[in-house]
């Protein structure tokens, strides 16, 4: 286990280094800089600003400086938001994204699993068809549309909920629902298909013939096996959802981290671009790591001691 | 049996969700936390006990700073209007009126301004605002270490440019001097009749002297000390800002709102939905936006709330006059004359813009009244037949058998795209030429424009101060904004004359002449003068946009009809 974990960590570290380096140079290749304006800044002032942010140094020097700061845990100051450190921007905006994101993960897991199981148990019956329709709709309706419809119906027309903001606990409902549609539908389909496969497997038939009750078969044998692909999906899904959705955050006016992914590039806010990329990388890797560990619990056949991961 | 159970639990789950959704909502939004007594009551009941005390508007996104020296966008500027106050402020007609300075004297040669700071001017913490504060603040903005991008707005002052560019480190050489606590003396390089107009611009706002001890003072509500009608009470980064009335403000009796709430909603449909559900009192420009497709509908359905106001900004295309075929003036003119501006503002932009045939927009003060009224923008006309002739002549002069392939570039935006498509179609129909269109991300477009790596490019310009010079000095030879290749010694001489003369009549005459040269040479093709559209809830009074479209809410009030 320790060997496995340390090996994982080493590879994560290497991946992060590659990610940081690649992003650094790619970002510098994009034309423009943080101090380009429609109202051009006089040359002298520009030169001075470049010097202030170390942008006047040769590229390799900037790169080494950046890596050095990174090793000291310093992501630098934003070049656009004055006096705001990248760490602070990430911290303050991630709180919102993580909150609605985690709720959305829970909702989509619950809804997806329930729908999937119902569909599988009612294979080819009307309940199955209904859930399939719901799932197909969920997958095919883009989240900006879902968000807009929810906002229009419950916010503007019925006025049950605020159209935007996160001032009240109930304000979470609409953005969480909007974020959950797609993953819930995806999980439902995944669960349904693997459940169907599992339910027709020999060992289920064996269990049934042994006279085990339906519920025990469902929970202990069928679901446990059927959930494996879902577990694989949960990791990246969680990473994706909690790092914010540009669209959903924009529509519901939530000050989350999502919009910075686009904004930082538009602003050529170099330090923020780097910070966000690394942050996203870390979250994603952490999620995968947790997924790998979770495998071990769900499926005892997968052993981590041999350092392989997937058995 | 098994299936029924699952089905039941599914229905139960749905029910729980629905109950969560419905159960907690119908109460009035008491949870709408905030230090100010915010909040209209829910929806339809109009028993507005607290409504109208707090003014609520949207600023779209996080201000990049609340340090006046570093401000450069209208989101920051909108907040600065509440938190800070310069020597002067603008009235609805764009005239400078006394603010922190109660009076001023201009020397006969127009080179020295002496401002008298009012005795009762105070910071939000109770400290008096003095002439020393202004000297400190302006020199701080000029200090290269501050990194102010707008520092050049001070270059009219003696020694300012040298100090800002690091040619001297002696701040005493800059012509800004507090003679005593109430008297500020400013020496200018040349008579600059619009200098007074600059003193209300946000970079000219004062900051409290304590900021030198706290580098990150402007990043949090608690450490921001202002001298304006309002003060910071809450700043949730990326989400909202709340201002509360500043009881130390000298003119507090005229300030009726107890607070101003700003939301940072970047989606225009969401902003409108908030306005329609009474969560906002104001929607639209300058810091928000009404969805363009809604404008024609709302203009009719919300007649009493909908306002269109022309602002001092120009929308135009610029040509690269160093490259074929736009190195020929006839070709440039042909393109400018072959489009239908009325059709563009009527059916494409639809927000009350005004077709433009000159460069300086309405709203800018000329000799006595609006420059654009004194000097009509009839520098050219739309005339397809003449355009065709000019194009043929121009191509012949260039020895071209047909119009070469060129591309029109614009910064990525739905609005710019629609305009570009309409104009290219007009050129195709009227002149029979094919012009490609290409959107570029803004920074890329700017980079390409500066490098003269374009053929036709979309551009826009808003006024910095209330004088035609804010437009006219852009196109001097090798000027930082002049990336068209336009170079006219005659034009340069006229701008220089206007810049050194203290006589307004002489200045306006020189700039009129210069605008004529610019339009004759046509490195730029005017399209329209911008306008701002916004909606304001009935009952709110004295909230207005100034000549350049900045909002002033400081003296607003609410009076139920």
Determine whether the interchain pair A252/B42 forms a contact, defined as Cβ–Cβ distance below 8 Å.
Answer: no
Q: What are phi and psi of B186, to 5 degrees?
A: -125, 125
Determine whether the interchain pair B443/A215 forms a contact, defined as Cβ–Cβ distance below 8 Å.
Answer: no
Q: How far apart are CA B14 and CA A55, in angstroms?
A: 55
| Cβ A77 vs Cβ A103: under 8 Å | no
Q: Per this entry, what is the length of chain A?
A: 311
Q: Of A200-204, A304-308, B552-556, which gets the smallest average pLDDT?
A: A304-308
pLDDT of residue A36: 87
| Cβ B6 vs Cβ A121: under 8 Å | yes
Q: Does B62 touch chain A (CB under 8 A)?
A: yes
pLDDT of residue B3: 41
Q: How far apart are CA B380 and CA B56, in angstroms?
A: 44
Ramachandran region of residue A307, left (φ > 0), alpha (ψ -120 to 50) or beta?
Answer: left
C-alpha dihedral sign at B356, B358, B364, B365: negative
Q: How far apart are CA B480 and CA B494, in angstroms?
A: 18
Determine whether the interchain pair A45/B443 forms a contact, defined as Cβ–Cβ distance below 8 Å.
Answer: no
| Both structure tokens of A205 | 């038939």
End-to-end CA distance of chain A: 14
pLDDT of residue B248: 96
Q: How far apart are CA A120 and CA A109, in angstroms?
A: 16
Q: Measured between beta carbons, which residues in chain B are less than 8 angstroms from residue A173?
A: 20-21
Q: Is residue B231 classed as helix, strand or coil in its secondary structure?
A: strand
| Both structure tokens of A16 | 């992060």
Instruction: Select from A30, A45, A256 the Cβ nearest to the Cβ of B152.
Output: A45
Residues sharing a CB contact under 8 Å with residue B464, sequence separation 6 or more, in sequence order:
A39, B153, B198, B201, B470
Closest chain A C-alpha to B118 CA, distance in angstroms: 31
Q: In the predicted model, is pLDDT for residue B225 greater than 60?
A: yes
pLDDT of residue B24: 37
Torsion of CA B192, B195, B196, B198, to 10 degrees: 160
Determine whether the interchain pair A82/B441 forms a contact, defined as Cβ–Cβ distance below 8 Å.
Answer: no
Provide the ipTM. Answer: 0.87
Q: How far apart are CA A299 and CA A291, in angstroms?
A: 12
Task: Find which of A41, A127, A163 to mutate to test the B interface (most B CBs within 10 Å of its CB).
Answer: A163
Residues sharing a CB contact under 8 Å with residue A281, sequence separation 6 or more, in sequence order:
A15, A16, A19
| Both structure tokens of B13 | 């789950």
Q: In the predicted model, is pLDDT for residue B336 greater than 70?
A: yes
H/E run at residue B260: strand B259-263
| Both structure tokens of B559 | 């009076």
User: Closest Cα partner for B348 from B296, B297, B310?
Assistant: B296
pLDDT of residue A303: 60
Domains of chain B plus CATH, in order, are 54-67+77-82+214-307+535-561 (3.40.190.10), 85-206 (3.90.76.10), 330-532 (3.10.105.10)
Closest chain B C-alpha to A72 CA, distance in angstroms: 21
Q: Report, as an integer, the average pLDDT of A202-224.
A: 79
The CA-based angle B155-B160-B165, given to 5 degrees, is 95
- pLDDT bracket for residue B32 (50, 70, 90): very low
C-alpha dihedral sign at B345, B346, B350, B354: positive
Q: What are phi and psi of B435, to 5 degrees?
A: -120, 125
Q: Report, as an integer, the average pLDDT of A86-91.
A: 94
Q: Does B412 touch chain A (CB under 8 A)?
A: no
Q: Does B381 touch chain A (CB under 8 A)?
A: no
| Cβ B359 vs Cβ B420: under 8 Å | no
Q: In the predicted model, is pLDDT for residue B16 greater than 50?
A: no
Q: How many CB pairs under 8 A join A and B?
A: 183
Q: How far apart are CA B131 and CA A166, in angstroms?
A: 43
Q: How far apart are CA A101 and CA A279, in angstroms?
A: 16
pLDDT tens sequence across A254-281: 989 988 888 899 899 999 999 999 999 9
pLDDT tens sequence across B490-542: 999 999 999 998 899 999 999 999 999 999 999 999 999 999 999 999 999 99
Number of other residues whose CB lies within 10 A of the CB of residue B355: 18
For B14, which residue in chain A has the nearest alpha carbon? A111
- pLDDT bracket for residue A291 (50, 70, 90): confident
Q: Does B270 touch chain A (CB under 8 A)?
A: yes
Torsion of CA A278, A284, A287, A289, to 10 degrees: -80
Q: In the predicted model, is pLDDT for residue B44 greater than 60?
A: no
Q: Report, as an integer, the average pLDDT of A139-164.
A: 91
Q: Is residue B358 classed as helix, strand or coil in its secondary structure?
A: coil
Q: Does A212 touch chain B (CB under 8 A)?
A: no
Determine whether the interchain pair B443/A36 forms a contact, defined as Cβ–Cβ distance below 8 Å.
Answer: yes
Q: Report, as an integer, the average pLDDT of A131-141.
A: 86
Q: How far apart are CA B204 and CA B137, in angstroms?
A: 8
pLDDT of residue A5: 80
Instruction: Select from A81, A154, A255 the Cβ nearest to the Cβ of B264.
Output: A255
Instruction: Select from A118, A151, A168 the Cβ nearest to the Cβ of B10.
Output: A118
Q: Measured between beta carbons, which residues in chain B are less than 8 angstroms from residue A52?
A: 145, 147
Q: Measured between beta carbons, which residues in chain A are less than 8 angstroms from residue B239?
A: 96, 165-166, 254-255
| Cβ B274 vs Cβ B58: under 8 Å | yes
Please name the residues between 1 and 30 in chain A that touch chain B, using a CB distance below 8 Å. Answer: 30
For B6, which residue in chain A has the nearest alpha carbon? A118
Q: How far apart are CA B468 and CA B478, in angstroms?
A: 19
Between B14 and B255, the higher pLDDT residue? B255
Q: How far apart are CA B412 and CA B4, in angstroms?
A: 55
Q: How far apart are CA A65 and CA A76, in angstroms?
A: 11
pLDDT of residue A292: 82
Q: In the predicted model, is pLDDT for residue A196 greater than 70?
A: yes
DSSP per-residue string spanning B516-542: HHHHHH-SEEEEEEEEEEEEE-TTEES
Q: Measured between beta carbons, which residues in chain B are less than 8 angstroms from residue A218?
A: 2
Per-residue H/E/C for B172-220: HHCCEEEEECCEEEEEECCCCCCHHHHCCCHHHCCCCHHHHHCCCHHHC
Residues sharing a CB contact under 8 Å with residue B265, sequence separation 6 or more, in sequence order:
A164, A253, B58, B60, B271, B274, B288
The CA-based angle B222-B225-B231, given to 5 degrees, is 80
Q: Is residue B21 classed as helix, strand or coil in its secondary structure?
A: helix
Q: In the predicted model, is pLDDT for residue A201 greater than 90?
A: no
Determine whether the interchain pair A167/B216 forms a contact, defined as Cβ–Cβ distance below 8 Å.
Answer: no
Determine whether the interchain pair A164/B480 forms a contact, defined as Cβ–Cβ distance below 8 Å.
Answer: no
Q: Measured between beta carbons, which residues in chain B are less than 8 angstroms from residue A33?
A: 443
Residues sharing a CB contact under 8 Å with residue B238, sequence separation 6 or more, in sequence order:
A92, A93, A255, A256, B61, B62, B264
Instruction: Tell me what the pLDDT averaged over chain B comes to.
Output: 89
For B141, which residue in chain A has the nearest alpha carbon? A45
Q: Report, as an integer, the average pLDDT of B189-210.
A: 94
Q: Is residue B15 classed as helix, strand or coil in its secondary structure?
A: helix
User: Closest Cα partner for A226 from A257, A189, A256?
Assistant: A189
C-alpha dihedral sign at B479, B483, B489, B494: negative
| Cβ B146 vs Cβ B139: under 8 Å | no
pLDDT tens sequence across B363-407: 999 998 899 999 999 999 999 999 999 999 999 999 999 999 999
| Both structure tokens of A208 | 């049934």
Cis peptide, bond prior to residue B286, ω within 30 of zero: yes
Q: How far apart are CA A250 and CA B60, in angstroms?
A: 10
Q: How far apart are CA B320 and CA B448, in angstroms?
A: 11
* β-pair type (B88-90, B96-98): antiparallel
Determine whether the interchain pair A255/B279 forms a contact, defined as Cβ–Cβ distance below 8 Å.
Answer: no
Q: How many C-alpha atoms does B487 have within 13 Å on its Cβ side?
A: 7
For B63, which residue in chain A has the nearest alpha carbon? A81
Instruction: Tell me what the pLDDT averaged over chain A comes to.
Output: 87
pLDDT of residue B359: 97
pLDDT of residue B374: 95
Task: Find which of B7, B44, B237, B240 to mutate to test the A interface (most A CBs within 10 Å of its CB).
Answer: B237
Q: Does A32 touch chain B (CB under 8 A)?
A: yes
Q: Of A195-209, B13-27, B414-428, which gets the smallest average pLDDT?
A: B13-27
Residues sharing a CB contact under 8 Å with residue B479, sequence separation 6 or more, in sequence order:
B473
Between B32 and B71, the higher pLDDT residue? B71
Closest chain B C-alpha to A250 CA, distance in angstroms: 6
Ramachandran region of residue B557, left (φ > 0), alpha (ψ -120 to 50) or beta?
Answer: beta
Q: Is residue B105 classed as helix, strand or coil in its secondary structure?
A: strand
Q: Of B32-46, B109-123, B492-506, which gets the smallest average pLDDT?
A: B32-46
- pLDDT bracket for residue B185 (50, 70, 90): very high
Task: Find which of B66, B162, B265 to mutate to test the A interface (most A CBs within 10 Å of its CB).
Answer: B265
For B483, which residue in chain A has the nearest alpha carbon? A40
Q: Report, as an integer, the average pLDDT of B211-231.
A: 93
Q: Report, as an integer, the average pLDDT of A92-107.
A: 93
For B273, which residue in chain A has the nearest alpha carbon? A156
pLDDT tens sequence across B65-102: 999 999 988 899 999 999 999 999 998 888 899 999 99
pLDDT of residue B31: 34
| Both structure tokens of B330 | 């006839």
C-alpha dihedral sign at B267, B272, B273, B275: positive
Q: Measured between beta carbons, which residues in chain A are less than 8 angstroms from residue B447?
A: 31-32, 36
Which residue has 């970002």 as its token pair? Answer: A27
């Amino acid at each position: 286990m320790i060997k496995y974990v340390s090996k994982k960590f080493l590879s994560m570290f290497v991946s992060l280094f590659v990610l940081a380096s690649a992003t650094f140079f790619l970002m510098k290749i994009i034309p423009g800089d943080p101090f380009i304006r429609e109202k051009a800044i006089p040359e002298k002032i520009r030169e001075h600003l470049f010097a202030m942010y170390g942008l006047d140094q040769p590229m390799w020097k900037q790169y080494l400086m950046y890596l050095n700061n990174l090793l000291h845990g310093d992501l630098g100051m934003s070049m656009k938001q004055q006096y705001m450190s990248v760490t602070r921007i990430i911290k303050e905006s991630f709180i919102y994204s993580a909150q609605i994101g985690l709720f959305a993960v829970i909702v989509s897991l619950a809804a997806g699993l329930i729908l999937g199981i119902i569909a599988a148990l009612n294979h080819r019956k009307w309940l199955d068809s209904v859930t399939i329709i719901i799932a197909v709709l969920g997958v095919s309706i883009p989240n900006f549309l879902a968000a807009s419809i929810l906002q229009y119906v419950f916010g503007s027309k019925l006025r049950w909920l605020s159209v935007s903001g996160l001032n009240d606990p109930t304000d979470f409902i609409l953005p969480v629902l909007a974020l959950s549609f797609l993953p819930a539908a995806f999980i439902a389909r995944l669960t349904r298909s693997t459940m169907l496969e599992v339910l027709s497997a020999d060992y289920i038939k064996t269990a049934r013939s042994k006279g085990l009750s339906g519920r025990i078969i469902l929970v202990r044998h069928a679901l446990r096996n059927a959930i494996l692909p879902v577990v694989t999906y949960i990791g990246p899904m969680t990473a994706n959802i909690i790092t914010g959705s540009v669209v959903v955050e924009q529509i519901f006016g939530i000050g989350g981290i999502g919009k910075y992914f686009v904004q930082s590039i538009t602003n050529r806010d170099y330090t923020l671009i780097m910070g966000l990329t690394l942050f996203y990388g870390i979250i994603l890797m952490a999620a995968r790591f947790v997924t790998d560990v979770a495998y071990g619990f769900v499926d005892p056949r997968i052993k981590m001691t041999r350092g392989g991961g997937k058995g | 049996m098994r299936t029924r159970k699952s089905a039941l639990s599914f229905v139960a789950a749905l029910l729980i969700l629905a109950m969560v959704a419905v159960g907690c909502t119908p109460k009035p939004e008491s949870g709408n936390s905030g230090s100010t007594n915010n909040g209209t009551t829910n929806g339809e009941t109009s028993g507005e006990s607290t409504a109208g005390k707090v003014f609520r508007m949207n600023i779209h996104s996080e201000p990049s700073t609340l340090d006046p020296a570093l401000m450069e966008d209208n989101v920051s500027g909108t907040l600065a209007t509440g938190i800070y106050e310069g020597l002067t402020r603008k009235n609805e007609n764009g005239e400078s009126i006394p603010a922190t300075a109660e009076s001023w004297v201009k020397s006969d040669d127009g080179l020295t301004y002496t401002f008298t700071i009012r005795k009762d001017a105070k910071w939000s913490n109770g400290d008096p605002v003095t002439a020393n504060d202004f000297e400190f603040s302006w020199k701080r903005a000029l200090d290269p270490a501050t990194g102010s991008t707008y520092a050049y707005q001070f270059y009219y002052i003696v020694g300012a440019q040298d100090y800002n560019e690091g040619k001297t480190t002696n701040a005493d050489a800059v012509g800004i001097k507090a003679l005593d606590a109430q008297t500020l003396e400013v020496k200018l390089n040349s008579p600059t009749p619009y200098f007074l107009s600059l003193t209300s611009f946000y970079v000219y706002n004062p900051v409290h002297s304590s900021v030198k001890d706290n580098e990150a003072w402007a990043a949090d509500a608690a450490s921001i000390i202002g001298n304006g009608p309002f003060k910071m009470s809450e700043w949730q980064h990326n989400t909202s800002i709340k201002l509360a009335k500043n009881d130390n403000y000298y003119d507090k009796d005229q300030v009726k709102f107890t607070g101003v709430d700003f939301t940072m909603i970047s989606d225009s449909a969401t902003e409108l939905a908030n306005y329609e559900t009474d969560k906002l009192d104001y929607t639209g420009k300058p810091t928000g936006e009404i969805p363009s497709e809604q404008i024609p509908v709302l203009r009719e359905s919300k007649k009493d709330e909908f306002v269109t106001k022309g602002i001092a900004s120009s929308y135009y295309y610029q040509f690269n006059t160093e490259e074929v075929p736009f190195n020929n003036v006839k070709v440039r003119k042909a393109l400018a004359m072959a489009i239908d501006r009325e059709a563009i503002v009527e059916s494409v932009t639809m927000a009350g813009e005004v077709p433009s045939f000159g460069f300086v927009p309405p709203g800018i003060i000329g000799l006595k009244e609006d420059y654009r009224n004194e000097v009509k923008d009839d520098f050219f006309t739309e005339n397809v037949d003449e355009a065709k002739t000019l194009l043929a002549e121009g191509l012949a002069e260039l020895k071209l058998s047909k119009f070469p392939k060129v591309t029109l570039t614009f910064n990525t935006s739905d609005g710019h795209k629609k305009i570009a498509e309409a104009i290219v179609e007009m050129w195709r129909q009227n002149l029979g030429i094919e012009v490609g269109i290409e959107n570029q991300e803004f920074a890329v477009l700017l980079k390409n424009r500066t490098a003269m790596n374009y053929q036709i490019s979309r551009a826009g310009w808003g006024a910095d101060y209330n004088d035609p010079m804010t437009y006219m000095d852009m196109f001097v030879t090798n000027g930082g904004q002049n990336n068209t290749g336009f170079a006219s010694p005659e034009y340069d001489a006229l701008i220089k004359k206007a810049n050194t003369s203290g006589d307004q009549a002489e200045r306006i005459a020189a700039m009129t002449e210069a605008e004529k040269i610019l339009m004759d040479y046509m490195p730029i093709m005017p399209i329209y003068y911008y306008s701002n559209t916004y909606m304001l809830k009935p009952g709110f009074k004295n909230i207005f946009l100034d000549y350049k479209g900045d909002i002033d809410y400081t003296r607003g009030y609410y009076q139920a009809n």
